[in-house]
Structure 1
């Protein structure tokens, strides 16, 4: 019965392709749905019961749609059994096909050659057999190809050289034979052919791969050692001497010894060189001291401020560029204001209500402050300035602000008017034609990003469950307050480096309102890893987009992973999709940060917070909760955790 079934599937696939070729028969979501149903009927009728007409195709488990077509099909470990049907070739808009860890068998169907948009093909850990088909070379956009742990036979096709974008090729644990062809794919960085029957010399292009890529084979060369008859290359530093210019081996294989006079000369020369270096270092140190002593009598120009790593305000990573660095910015600002403000009076710091009452300092005090660069962030460079009174403030020097003074004042006053315990308070601002400064309260604990990802050594203090939920709750309250100020109010740049912490680990949201001040020159990729999928213009961010970013923040707290990490795993998916794929596979425990696994009495609460995060990162904005709902749900999780902890204490006093 296997042959008629396969023949029937090929007829169905041919009919669908014929319809697609007819006028009005262009492939669309309906044709993709038909192909998915055929796939279900062929290999997963019992494994994919929810793939039916009662649910929209794009909501089927493992299916992701983009622009009205199926863009990704991910069914890892779904229990698929049988041969991959030819009809899969009708999913011509696919970018990712992942059928790994199933029980698929037989050869790869020729129709896969139609998937010309495919970037990622993951078929590892199945029972596929036959030769690796040469038609894979037609998939010109292929970046990652994983056929490991199957039963493929024959040789590695030379045609794979046509895949100019190929970066990963995993073929280990198969039954491949013959020599490895000369693979010259320019982007190939990951390769593995271990546990196969291949033999011969490893091609030069692949010899930089680790030894583990070629274990248990008949290969030689590169990391496996010399092949028979192969001569080790002579290091350039040990080139042939004049008496051996022909490249032959010196007589008796012995190296010539240096004479006593030569040794003495080398020793004297080395001692003289060391003395010269020592004198130069002494003179250099004295020069630096003189330079530092005269630094107080002159001001650095604005262009002398070094560029720092892309960190947000209060990131907690002091770069130690010395005193008066922040003063450089404000002194240049004062210089510009003294010229632009001629006839109108020099401009001053403008304080807001609470700041005016508790911060008796002015622009001149900032000029005299010692300071350190905190980092270069999305909206400008941040400094920690310590006033002569001992008070520390954070000064942010804005960039890409092209507003006139009246408009700038209106917008900045709206930011200054925001008053909530979970927002970093804006104390004052300074405006001139060339410089815009903002002065904030300084929080010594730095940011959540620095706390979670800055120190991975043995001295790291793990963030416990209570602290993480407290940070999540406080940040949610701060964002909820911003949304409550206006139906259109949003933050626009929620990320862990903009969540600052007090000494008691209470979270405060920073950079609120700054998205209204910067120009369109600000790159849209500024919140890579946090940006909602519908956001294309960084100046048009909605409250629902903020909710998405906050959901990513929750996932960061739960997983311990940084969302901006380029590759979460081999398949290169972002943090939300990685979490969702793991949860679908019922490997929920694999999601959580190892530092959280010790808190067994709050496992249910951890899962509830994970579910909230997944709700927040829903693909469609109208399916995401409001920040008010988020605050309520986190509050309930906190209460449940406290109750669970109390009961555990009573059981185990």
Structure 2
């Protein structure tokens, strides 16, 4: 009997200890959330059970302690004190990715001895890392990428014996890479820092992509050297990376071998691929075949004598800027691992060389031998979108890429890809296959120009994880489709909007942020300095979301993408280029000469159309027709002018653009809100007026109840106390979101921020009386 009592006492003591632990964890998290600024209200209420109701919190199976904290994309911002999190002694997973947290690496995290996964990526952390990492004996994943950490990489990281994944990319780390002997390390990314020196032997088992964007070298990776015009060094085009350390003798042997091989190849080339000014072009083994339309005459020897500069390296080869004597500067791409026969290679290149468009980089010529495959393009002196967007981000005097240039580059690139797709015919389907920011250049008109079209079909397929631009349905990069091009273009749009380089998770990150309705957190902070363009950025974001849909058949065609981008700023983009795509129904904002095509009216009409198509639950919105009915007759007189009206909605839009009184009253709406079923307002029909300011959406609309309602946050004049209609307003919000928030406010009042203190006091002290009075008012005023 005594033993049984002892067992019960021990069990009781264990439960007391476990209960005390979870209470301490709950208190620590309440302290943490009370000391931070965040754009979204977490449901961390002291009255709710922490293990089952708190967002982002996971407990162990006994609900005795917190083991995981997932707060990715939670709108956390500012210089945070994270010491309270360090009190969660049993925490194993800490995910704070994709917020806006600043400050140094939290030293208090060293107390989290049981941590197995730490993700602080996509924040604004800065300063050096701690010297000592040995306290995290169980850590398997450490992701600090896309921050502003600096200083050297601590050598103590090698003490993390269980480490499986280390990502420090896109920071400002400097100095040499430490020799990290971590046998279990499978994933490593140190790209795009300021690291120098030699890659340690212990890390040379990782791919070169793990070190790009640094000034480092190894037996596998040669440092990039810039060549001056006065230095006529041998062009490294004739050498692969593995020959970089060989002497001049090896270079000469390769050249001689190339010549001997070329003498055995067919000397006669089709005349249409030759430059007419040189009838002998292509006859010799070292001749480069040029297409019509460009007076370029040089051969492989000229390239070998020319000065060159490496512009970039990718999975399909290396790209060089070449200054040939007595000729223009060109771009030469050295292709590796071609997987098709020579004839098929030439046919594909010939077809690509025939594509002519001002937004497509012209393919000027090519060289083919057993050892070397080169293609020649024009050089764009203003650089690529990748360089303009990501280059020198670590420098304080960097000139940001403005929205105007980004918009123009996206628009031009869209036109270029659409033209490439239009060149398909019969069984020949033309796709780009490798759309990315380093393949988009700024042309002389200030618009984007796409390069590298069709090259992916000639190469060995990349591994699935090699590119975040790839559509999820594409397993083989040689078999790209036009819908997969559209997906890649959507990723490109996200890169332009966020300022974040695509490293494999950009689409997932953008979708997670937008899904939580924190759209403003998506945009590049360099763009947010100019609030006048936020509405255009939101529209561009919507284009990217449509393009990156998971179902290929649901994605738009590139010609439709061109039109959608053009609609963002039709008066500017349409004047820069005349759209070549066929038009269907007239899009909003495309009727030229209308005096009502300002930003506010365009946005209001778009929101109304969205509401009609997909109204929010329990809410409906209609225009107040009371003022402008007298103009309907005038509107119908213009029916014969509406040539492209394919639906009643097109007709309504047409009437808005033509008649003055209609456009004036676009800024005055009336909404009907049905009382939520789980509230004392159930069964009621509440009328709400909405007045849009002239500078909408940069200023919030004024919303008021016309129907009397008994509520602590709604006064007798119908005014509503709602944070998103005041300081929390953002141009990314919509009337649909406002109506849903009002419905939520009816269900869940906020007595701590009342507009009517007396009703708030009743709600707190006598909720039954409050609900009875609210029901009585609903029956009297909202059910008549």
TM-score by length of 1: 0.53
SS of match in other structure, 2:569: helix
Counterpart of 1:494? 435
Alignment of 1:59-208 (within 5 A): 77=41, 79=43, 83=48, 99-100=55-56, 108=59, 110=61, 121-122=70-71, 144=95, 165-167=116-118, 184-187=137-140
SS in 1 for 2:325: coil
- 2:264, 2:335 → 1: CA distance? 26
Q: 1:182: Cα distance to partner?
A: 6.8
Contact 1:308-1:376 at 8 Å conserved across structures: no
Provide the secondary structure at the position in 2 that maps to 1:601: helix
Tell me the residue number matched to 1:254. Answer: none
Distance 2:450 2:562 in 1: 15
CA distance in structure 2 between the partners assigned to 1:343 and 1:599 by the alignment: 62
Q: How far apart are 1:435 and its partner, in Å?
A: 1.1
Q: What is the rounded CA distance, in whole Å, between the counterparts of 2:402 and 2:417 in structure 1?
A: 23
Residue number in structure 1 paired with 2:457: 516
SS in 2 for 1:354: coil
Contact 2:416 2:449 in 1 (8 A): yes
Alignment of 1:314-463 (within 5 A): 319-321=225-227, 323-326=232-235, 329=238, 335-342=256-263, 346-355=284-293, 357-456=294-393, 457-463=395-401
More helix by share: 1
Q: What is the root-mean-square deviation in Å for CA atoms of aligned residues?
A: 4.8
CA contact (8 A) 1:310 1:375 kept: no
Q: What residue number does 1:526 align with?
A: 466
Mean Cα deviation higher: 635-644 or 598-607: 635-644
Cα distance in 1 for partners of 2:498, 2:465 equals 23
Compared with structure 1, are the counterparts of its residues 120 and 398 closer, same or farther at alpha carbon in structure 2 (3 Å cutoff)? farther
Secondary structure (helix, strand or coil) at the match of 2:535 reads helix
Which has the higher relative contact order, 1 or 2, with Cα contacts under 8 A spaced 6 or more apart?
A: 1
* Structure 1 residue 375: Cα displacement: 2.9
Secondary structure class of the residue paired with 1:385: strand
Partner secondary structure for residue 478 of structure 2: coil
1:534 alignment partner, SS class: coil
Q: Conserved in 1, the CA contact under 8 Å of 2:457 and 2:479? A: no
CA contact (8 A) 1:366 1:385 kept: yes
Secondary structure of 1:429's partner?
Answer: strand
Q: For residues 375-412 of structure 1, give each alpha carbon's deviation from its aligned partner in whole angstroms, at most 9, with x where no partner exists.
A: 32221122222111152111111100143222221222
Name the counterpart of 2:516.
585
Deviation at 1:581, TM superposition (A): 2.7
Give, in angstroms, the shift of residue 190 of structure 1: 8.7
1:609 to 525, 540, 543: 540
- Inter-CA distance 318–79: structure 2 relative to 1 (3 Å threshold): same
Evaluate the alpha carbon distance shift between residue 398 and residue 112 of structure 1 in structure 2; reply closer, same or farther with a 3 A threshold.
farther
Q: Structure 1, unaligned stretches of length 5 or more?
A: 1-74, 89-97, 147-155, 170-180, 192-204, 210-305, 312-316, 567-573
Normalised by the length of structure 2, the TM-score is 0.45
CA distance in 2: counterparts of 1:323 and 1:414, whole angstroms: 34
Once the 2 structures are TM-superposed, how far is the Cα of residue 614 of structure 1 from its aligned partner? 1.3
Q: For residues 401 and 189 of structure 1, do their structure 2 counterparts lie closer, same or farther at Cα, with a shift above 3 Å needed?
A: closer
**In structure 2, distance between residues paired with 1:85 and 1:637:** 45
Which residue pairs with 1:482 in the alignment?
Answer: 420
Q: Which runs of 5+ in 2 are unaligned?
A: 1-38, 77-81, 98-107, 121-133, 145-155, 161-207, 214-222, 240-250, 268-283, 574-588, 590-594, 600-693, 696-784
The Cα offsets for residues 536-579 of structure 1, whole Å up to 9 and x where unpaired, read as 22222222221111111111111222122x7xxxxxxx222322
Structure 2 CA distance for aligned equivalents of residues 119 and 453 of structure 1: 34
Structure 1 residue 342, shift from structure 2 partner: 3.6
* SS of match in other structure, 2:304: helix
Change in Cα spacing, 1:328 to 1:463, as seen in structure 2 (3 Å) is closer
**1:555 aligns to what?**
494
Alpha-carbon distance in structure 1 between the residues aligned to 2:210 and 2:225: 8
* C-alpha contact (below 8 Å) 1:551/1:616 kept by paired residues: yes
Deviation at 1:80, TM superposition (A): 7.2
Whole-Å separation in 1 of the counterparts to 2:528 and 2:498: 11
Write the deviation string for residues 581-601 of structure 1: whole angstroms up to 9, x where unpaired.
333333332222233234433
In structure 2, the CA distance between the partners of 1:184 and 1:640, relative to structure 1 (3 Å rule), is: same
Give the Å deviation of 1:634: 0.6
SS state of the match for residue 441, structure 2?
A: strand
Instruction: Indicate yes or no: 2:506 matched with 1:506.
Output: no
| Number of equivalent positions | 407
| Cα gap change, 1:542 to 1:360, in 2 (>3 Å) | same
Query: 1: CA distance between counterparts of 2:528 and 2:40?
Result: 25
Show the counterpart of 2:552. Answer: 621
